[in-house]
A and B are shown apart, each in its own frame.
Chain A
């Protein structure tokens, strides 16, 4: 296997790493936003009650 072909595998491995990490960060962000929404909903309920 030639050197340029081998480089392709190197870039593929690092691209896969960053893609998976980005996917996980997006997942974390979504969960965080869901918690934010729940906090706001709770605040609204408390204000309504007050």
Chain B
């Protein structure tokens, strides 16, 4: 029994319901349970989804990089499918970060966008993986392109540690997520921390489910292609 067949029943029958239920709980926490932040007011509630979108994007890209490394090492198509699924899910959440961030920034900073180090590095991350998707879309079955894509995913993921430390390293405008450097700001109320954790659980389940769905579609697509090829060979 492979890992995939062991995971399949959970991924198919448990994950979507668990993700939906925890997401409903997360929305209740965000809009009802969590208190307003003193300085920002209700706009701060964007933070709970914005931050988790960023973490989900990082998770997707790390999965893609890990699977890409394994694909380069072992050469099994399953790793390439997982890498592609990771990039697609990562790109979805990275796009959400780049959309929800400016909507938060407009009332708080007075501008939709600024070339702050963290924001700039996030745009670079999005661009690297957009190139990956373009590369794979233009030459889906080419094994050489799959290897180039794997290398690109491994290089692209190096941007994530830079995004994480950019606030402290280059003293940008972007706030620290959990606590400000001087120990003030961030999540002051325990209900805010609970809300962040519930939202994190919802996002982890959502990411796992989306990764599974995309991986399965890619795997089945590849299997059908292989069967068609064999069928054509036999017919010839």
Contact = CB atoms under 8 A, between A and B. Distances in A.
Interface of A: 1, 3, 5-7, 9-10, 12-14, 16-17, 20-21, 24, 28, 31-32, 34-35, 38-39, 42, 45-46, 49
Interface in B173-225: 210, 213-214, 217, 220-221, 224
B92 A24 contact: yes
A13 B104 contact: yes
A4 to B, nearest CB: 10
B227 interface: yes
Given A10-B42, A13-B46, A42-B227, A1 B107 contact: yes
Given A1-B107, A16-B103, A42-B227, A32 B45 contact: no
A7 B99 CA distance: 17
Nearest to B106: A9
A3 B43 CA distance: 9
Interface of B: 41-43, 45-46, 49-50, 53, 92, 95-96, 99-100, 103-104, 106-107, 210, 213-214, 217, 220-221, 224, 227-228, 231, 235
Contact of B100 (A13, A42, A45): A13
B217 A31 contact: yes
Given A20-B92, A35-B217, A35-B220, A9 B41 contact: no
Contacts of A42: 224, 227-228, 231
B227 A9 contact: no
B217 A24 contact: no
Contacts of B214: 28, 31
Given A6-B107, A20-B92, A38 B42 contact: no
Greatest chain B CB density within 10 A among A12, A20, A24, A31 is at A24
